[in-house]
Amino acid sequence: MVNVKPMEEILANTVEDSYRRAYLGGKKSLKWIVGMIRSSGLRNETLLEVLDRVNQYALTEEGKKERAEELRKELRLLKFI
């Protein structure tokens, strides 16, 4: 029997990886990551858990904290969190 992960877990992992590598790494824009989050359907507590999990260890480098704050501000405006 094949073990299949729930769709929400797959989407959360995709958003987490995109947030950490592409957005915080400076390779992709705010508009791009917001589009990724919008298309994933993650909202509220689930989305906050993903962001917090990455922020625990990824915000030690200069510039990443500002990008993280910019994203949270945009997500609040869009009422995603």
Kindly indicate the confidence band of residue 29, based on its pLDDT and cuts at 50, 70 and 90: very high
Residue with tokens 């915000």: 59
The CA distances from residue 60 to 4, 24, 33, 63, in Å, are: 34, 11, 20, 9
- Asked if residue 62 has pLDDT above 80, the reply is no
Q: Report the pLDDT value the prediction gives residue 26, as an integer from 0 to 100.
A: 93
What pTM, to 2 d.p., does this model score?
0.89
Q: How far apart are CA 47 and CA 60, in angstroms?
A: 21
- Asked if residue 79 has pLDDT above 80, the reply is yes
Question: What is the residue extent of each domain of the chain?
Answer: 7-77
Q: How far apart are CA 31 and CA 62, in angstroms?
A: 21
Kindly indicate the confidence band of residue 76, based on its pLDDT and cuts at 50, 70 and 90: very high
What percent of the chain has a predicted confidence (pLDDT) above 70? Answer: 100
State both tokens at 76: 């609040």
Q: How far apart are CA 6 and CA 11, in angstroms?
A: 9
- The counts of H helices and E strands in the chain are 4, 0
